[in-house]
Amino acid sequence: MGRTPRMCPSCVPRLAVTGYAGYGVRMEPDSPTVMKRTLTQIMFVIFLRLVAVTCFWFGLQYWAMLVGYSRGGGGRFDLLSVPWQVAAPSLAVLFPVASLGLWLAVSWGPVLWVIAAVSQFLMYKLWPEIFGTNSVVLLFHAVVASLYVLFRVALWLEERRKAEPVTTDLP
């Protein structure tokens, strides 16, 4: 086949800089391309992932109810009242998809979580005679919403502080 050509010692630095692929030399990046995250950003992502795990759990609970795995089979879809037949499958889909968006820390994750949380708030607060009450879930959503707003304000302040122009005291 082909033999690797001999190189003179003066050619080696030039090849290391140009990264000529014929000699198997690979160029190393000289600086990282990803910006370093701040502590607030890291904590925000951890918070989103904890909420994502909880949302996934909520979704699993709704699916278990719908297929008859929980509640002694009494929550199966065909045995539910019409309002529950609308609410339970919707939340069974919304929560896992919101969970994915929250885990990936993309913008649509919190939006879907808000839709699911508002749905549960309406279910348990506005129509308790149909859906019953669940104060723990409502408290959870209130705490998550409050923490989310606090994180967003902290991130906004951090960005604002970074964007302030640098001034010098020179005349």
Nearby residues of 49 by Cβ (< 8 Å), 6 or more positions away: 102, 103, 105
Can you give the C-alpha Rg of the chain in angstroms?
A: 27
Upper half-sphere CA count for residue 158 (Cβ side, 13 Å): 13
| Mean pLDDT, residues 128-147 | 96
Q: Hey, what are 35's tokens?
A: 């910006």
The closest alpha carbon to 138, from 111, 105, 116, belongs to 116
Q: What is the pLDDT of residues 110-133, one digit of tens each?
A: 999 999 999 999 999 999 999 999
CB atoms within 10 A of CB 159: 11
Cβ atoms 88, 65 nearer than 8 A:
yes
Residue 85 pLDDT > 80: yes
pLDDT for 40 equals 94
| Mean pLDDT, residues 136-142 | 96
Q: Hey, what are 85's tokens?
A: 């037949």
Q: What is the pLDDT of residues 33-61, one digit of tens each?
A: 777 889 999 999 999 999 999 999 999 99
